[in-house]
Chains A and B, each alone.
Chain A
Amino acid sequence: MLKCRVIPVLTFNGFALVKTKGFGSNARMVGNAVQAAKVYNSRNVDELVFLDIYASDKNKKMNLQMARLIINECYMPVTLGGGIKTLKDIEDLLAIGADKVVLKNKIIEAPEFINEASDVYGNQCITLAIDAVKKEDGQYYLYNRLDREILLFEFLTKINDYNFGEIILTSVNNDGMMDGFDIELVQQVEKITNVPIVVSGGAGEPSHFKELFSKTNIEAVAAASIFHFTRYTPRDLKLAIQSVGRPVRLIERDYIPKN
């Protein structure tokens, strides 16, 4: 049976690990990306996502030396993203060992790039980042730096015709707030696409995961703040998911107390 995945996310500002709240520009400096990668690898996490979140803004590419250092520490799948605009960008990342790449800003202006990429590299390498922001009118929009007002579900329905392997669905409102996931958003998106979805934004404690996995059919979840700032490890969250009857991958170790 396919296991539910718990995936730590590392967000990078070009030279160090940072953490945002609500995708704000005043990101909190967290520290060293390599050390985070080592910790996660030692925990046998299911996957790791590493994103350069300012690459597009600064019109730069992901620092390949840094990415290589991170991948060297990981013996599980690694997804890389940030500033991808051309096929060569994807090739460079795959060449240093990335398993999947994330496309975001490019697909708004040029969604056909998705198929260009998947035709060459296979659709399983291509992940789309869909950032959802709920505005005062109660509607969901696609968060974008082009200042365009794009209704989220319409966009998703259109994009779904293209050939890609996975979606990372992030709630911008809940990002970094550690107050729970946007369940309504997830339930809506599940109706639109049949591609694997990784839910992100809002994880703060194990009960949030129990809620997410019992109220939706999601099979993968991503988190960051909860791992940087609280006592909870990926294992704690997997046990929470397991407690609501969903299968997870647990690597056995010596007795671990309930604390």
Chain B
Amino acid sequence: MTIAIVKYGMGNVASVQKVLKKLGYTSIITDDHTAIKQANLILLPGVGSFKKGMENLHNSGLVELLTEEVLMNKKPFIGICLGMQLVATHGNEPERIEGLGWIDGEVVKIESPKGLRVPHLGWNTITTTNSDELYTSSNHKDYYFIHSYHFKAKNPEEVTFTVKYDGVMVAALQKDNMYVMQFHPEKSQEAGLGLLKKIIDQYA
């Protein structure tokens, strides 16, 4: 099995590859269309602004390619942080931008009522109401978050994990073959590695 980590200039691909290697998976960091087509699983990481993320994807012709592979061909997909936000219908950083539109929702700024610091930065507990073992094993565990915008999902049944900060926020979503998460599993030590393994092993 080969995992394609999408390279689009939006940071931290090295950490993801390091973690996948530790878990025993082969991965390549690439923006090459053929390589992505041949991969068994696609992982979209990312840190930075929504606008820049979409721009870079467009410039590499990846929007069409990824939509075809993930949405049409139903290739297994993991999206992390910005990689999760980009699958929304649209984002707002710094202004209203269209996203990939694979999961209905909008990415909005975290409000900061008195006392709440922004960005949401640090370890926080995620909870699920989903009874699938894939999810219960991570229930009530702490994961590392670092973001100033969050995903407001249209369809609650697609929300797998929530986290409490600016009220109850979406921490992770799943729709068919797509597993996307706001937190950084590759930075969340055992809890993070465990969750990644559970997701990827379904397809290994």
Task: Check B187 against A165 for contact (C-beta < 8 Å).
Answer: no
A1-39 to B contact mask, C-beta < 8 Å, 1/0: 111110000000000000000000000000000000000
- In the complex, what's the smallest C-beta–C-beta distance from A246 to chain B, in angstroms? 12
- In the complex, what's the smallest C-beta–C-beta distance from B120 to chain A, in angstroms? 7
Task: Check B118 against A194 for contact (C-beta < 8 Å).
Answer: yes
Name the interface size band of chain A: 35 or more
Task: Check A122 against B124 for contact (C-beta < 8 Å).
Answer: no
> Of the candidates A77, A97, A196, which one forms a contact with B117 in the assembled complex, judged by CB atoms under 8 Å apart?
A196
Task: Check B15 against A120 for contact (C-beta < 8 Å).
Answer: no
Determine whether B184 belongs to the interface, using a CB cutoff of 8 Å to chain A: yes
- In the complex, what's the smallest C-beta–C-beta distance from B22 to chain A, in angstroms? 8
Task: Check A97 against B121 for contact (C-beta < 8 Å).
Answer: no
Determine the distance from Cα of A71 to Cα of B17 in the docked complex, in whole angstroms: 12
Determine the distance from Cα of A166 to Cα of B22 in the docked complex, in whole angstroms: 30
Task: Check B12 against A165 for contact (C-beta < 8 Å).
Answer: no
Determine whether A232 belongs to the interface, using a CB cutoff of 8 Å to chain B: no
> Of the candidates A5, A100, A125, A251, which one forms a contact with B190 in the assembled complex, judged by CB atoms under 8 Å apart?
A251
Report if A46-B122 is in contact (Cβ < 8 Å); known contacts: A124-B47, A194-B112, A217-B115: yes
Number of A-B contacts (CB under 8 A): 100
Task: Check A121 against B11 for contact (C-beta < 8 Å).
Answer: yes
Determine the distance from Cα of A220 to Cα of B121 in the docked complex, in whole angstroms: 10
> Of the candidates A41, A46, A165, which one forms a contact with B119 in the assembled complex, judged by CB atoms under 8 Å apart?
A165
* Chain B residues, CB < 8 A from A119: 49
Determine whether A134 belongs to the interface, using a CB cutoff of 8 Å to chain B: no
* Chain B residues, CB < 8 A from A2: 120, 122-124, 165
Determine whether A87 belongs to the interface, using a CB cutoff of 8 Å to chain B: no
> Of the candidates A72, A122, A165, which one forms a contact with B121 in the assembled complex, judged by CB atoms under 8 Å apart?
A165
Task: Check A76 against B144 for contact (C-beta < 8 Å).
Answer: yes
Determine the distance from Cα of A249 to Cα of B142 in the docked complex, in whole angstroms: 7
> Of the candidates A46, A99, A124, which one forms a contact with B123 in the assembled complex, judged by CB atoms under 8 Å apart?
A46
Determine whether A242 belongs to the interface, using a CB cutoff of 8 Å to chain B: no
Determine the distance from Cα of A166 to Cα of B121 in the docked complex, in whole angstroms: 9
Task: Check B11 against A94 for contact (C-beta < 8 Å).
Answer: yes
B174-200 to A contact mask, C-beta < 8 Å, 1/0: 000000000010111110110000000
Determine whether B18 belongs to the interface, using a CB cutoff of 8 Å to chain A: yes
Task: Check B187 against A122 for contact (C-beta < 8 Å).
Answer: no
* Chain B residues, CB < 8 A from A76: 144, 187-189
Determine the distance from Cα of A217 to Cα of B117 in the docked complex, in whole angstroms: 11
Q: Which residue of B lies closest to A121 (CB)?
A: B48
* Chain B residues, CB < 8 A from A165: 119, 121, 146, 148
Determine the distance from Cα of A75 to Cα of B144 in the docked complex, in whole angstroms: 11
Determine the distance from Cα of A5 to Cα of B187 in the docked complex, in whole angstroms: 14
- In the complex, what's the smallest C-beta–C-beta distance from B118 to chain A, in angstroms? 7
Determine whether A150 belongs to the interface, using a CB cutoff of 8 Å to chain B: no
Determine the distance from Cα of A1 to Cα of B12 in the docked complex, in whole angstroms: 26
Task: Check B123 against A249 for contact (C-beta < 8 Å).
Answer: yes
Q: List 13 other contacts, CB 8 Å, given A75-B192, A120-B48.
A: A2-B120, A41-B189, A75-B187, A77-B187, A97-B14, A99-B47, A99-B146, A100-B146, A119-B49, A121-B48, A122-B11, A122-B49, A165-B146
The chain A residues found within 8 Å of chain B, CB to CB, are 1-5, 41, 44, 46, 71-72, 75-77, 94-97, 99-100, 119-125, 165-166, 194-196, 217, 219-220, 249, 251
Query: What are 30 A-to-B residue pairs whose CB atoms are below 8 Å?
Result: A2-B120, A3-B122, A4-B122, A5-B122, A5-B123, A44-B190, A71-B18, A75-B19, A75-B22, A75-B186, A75-B187, A75-B189, A76-B187, A77-B187, A121-B48, A122-B47, A122-B48, A122-B49, A123-B148, A124-B47, A124-B119, A124-B148, A125-B47, A165-B119, A166-B119, A166-B121, A194-B117, A194-B118, A195-B117, A249-B123
8 tightest CB-CB pairs across the interface, nearest first?
A122-B48, A97-B14, A3-B123, A249-B123, A249-B142, A97-B15, A124-B146, A196-B121
